[in-house]
A = this chain, B = another copy of it.
């Protein structure tokens, strides 16, 4: 963990509305410092900008660089109790060397060698795994083994025991998303170690969670209370893929079901409420048909995207990148975003939107529209 030394104070005496820097004022400012006081009038510009001015910057991490770094970690760094996970966090260059993709979101590539075991723990942070390629790892959540395969989305609500183990003879890498930066900032974090080994080495095709919950519109009568997070531990690729394909087919038949022409999208939801899978994280999958370019959109709150398949061009703020399978990029708060598909383009997205919505702080704006 990085420590945070006192920043250099910038007393913006030339900012608008500032008093004359007389000796008596300087003396007063020393009194403030002595009494742990800071005036609003020198700080307001940075604290209360006209619109979000995130420190996080738009940034792209290429899979072609990420994966080799993870692979080399696989050779040099053991996985075990203490370090807990062999994960490399995307560190936003605007965030002062902290391992945070944005001010609220953590995104990392995790890597597990054949036969390895990531020890059991639980934490208040909400988490998920998304698999861009490979298979062979099972995550055991509260004793329920959940297979991980390309395209699967595997939510993991806070405070459930979980460990991973690789049952194959090839390594596997995937993406972890969490709300670590958010919970760290607001001081909400609890963490507890569990056993060093997972509770079961069973490798079923489907977890008990799926067998209980993955039936559209059907709820077990023994599970009728709404839960803050989804009880479904795996959202399989076959369903996501089919839902997106159907949206585009319905669009072709004349139904107004896509976000915009050629742009299908689904949100992963909690079947007990219909709301987001977890209270702090929104997760979605987007599919653009070749040639589609999305409208330019600003949203309060930040997102991380991973390209699942295809090739396209992405614009975030001032940046523009050509992206391919596995590439990850961040969209800081209120930065304009547009996506363009060269081939068909499949994208996984996660964001901190639920916290804004639950606190009534959400806003959005589509260029050329009122929000």
Stretch at the interface among A161-169, A257-265, A305-313, A315-323: A257-265
Residues of B within 8 A of A3 (CB): 7-8, 10, 46
Residue among A218, A253, A266 with the highest chain B CB neighbour number at 10 A: A218
Contact B39 A73 (CB under 8 A): yes
Contact B256 A222 (CB under 8 A): yes
Minimum-distance CB pairs A-B, first 3: A1-B46, A17-B82, A41-B83
Contact B12 A76 (CB under 8 A): no
In the assembled complex, how far is the CB of residue A357 from the closest CB belonging to chain B, in whole angstroms? Answer: 10
Residue in contact with A72 in the complex, picked from B28, B256, B269, CB distance below 8 Å: B28
In the complex the two chains form, what is the Cα distance from A33 to B218 in whole Å? 37
Contact A93 B280 (CB under 8 A): no
A138 within 8 Å of B by Cβ? no
A117 within 8 Å of B by Cβ? no
Stretch at the interface among A84-92, A129-137, A339-347: A84-92
Residues of B within 8 A of A123 (CB): 48
Residue in contact with A99 in the complex, picked from B40, B242, B253, B301, CB distance below 8 Å: B40
In the complex the two chains form, what is the Cα distance from A66 to B124 in whole Å? 38
In the complex the two chains form, what is the Cα distance from A8 to B7 in whole Å? 11
Contact B22 A217 (CB under 8 A): no
Residues of B within 8 A of A356 (CB): 186, 188
In the complex the two chains form, what is the Cα distance from A235 to B232 in whole Å? 19
Residues of B within 8 A of A72 (CB): 28, 31
Q: Which A1-55 residues sit within 8 Å CB-CB of chain B? A: 1-10, 12, 15-19, 22, 24-25, 28, 31-32, 35-55
Known contacts A96-B4, A269-B217; A190/B51 CB under 8 A: yes
Q: Which A162-203 residues sit within 8 Å CB-CB of chain B? A: 180, 182-192
Residue in contact with A61 in the complex, picked from B36, B88, B188, B270, CB distance below 8 Å: B36
A289 within 8 Å of B by Cβ? no
Known contacts A218-B239, A219-B267, A274-B273; A4/B7 CB under 8 A: yes
In the complex the two chains form, what is the Cα distance from A222 to B358 in whole Å? 20
Contact A259 B221 (CB under 8 A): yes
Residue in contact with A257 in the complex, picked from B47, B187, B220, B333, CB distance below 8 Å: B220
Contact B218 A6 (CB under 8 A): no
Contact B89 A38 (CB under 8 A): yes
Known contacts A187-B301, A216-B214, A257-B212; A76/B224 CB under 8 A: no
Contact A48 B191 (CB under 8 A): yes
A78 within 8 Å of B by Cβ? yes
Q: Can you sample 12 A-B contacts with CB below 8 Å? A: A2-B7, A5-B8, A19-B76, A28-B76, A36-B90, A36-B91, A38-B98, A51-B190, A53-B187, A187-B301, A218-B235, A222-B257
A290 within 8 Å of B by Cβ? no
Contact A185 B185 (CB under 8 A): yes
Contact A84 B17 (CB under 8 A): yes
Q: Which A278-297 residues sit within 8 Å CB-CB of chain B? A: 279-280, 284
Given contact pairs A47-B99, A190-B363, A273-B274, a sample of 15 additional A-B residue pairs in the complex whose CB atoms are under 8 Å apart: A7-B96, A15-B82, A28-B69, A28-B73, A31-B72, A35-B69, A37-B69, A39-B99, A40-B99, A188-B333, A218-B239, A218-B240, A218-B268, A220-B266, A222-B257
In the complex the two chains form, what is the Cα distance from A56 to B4 in whole Å? 12
Residue in contact with A243 in the complex, picked from B46, B218, B246, CB distance below 8 Å: B218
What is the chain B residue whose CB lies nearest that of A230? B217
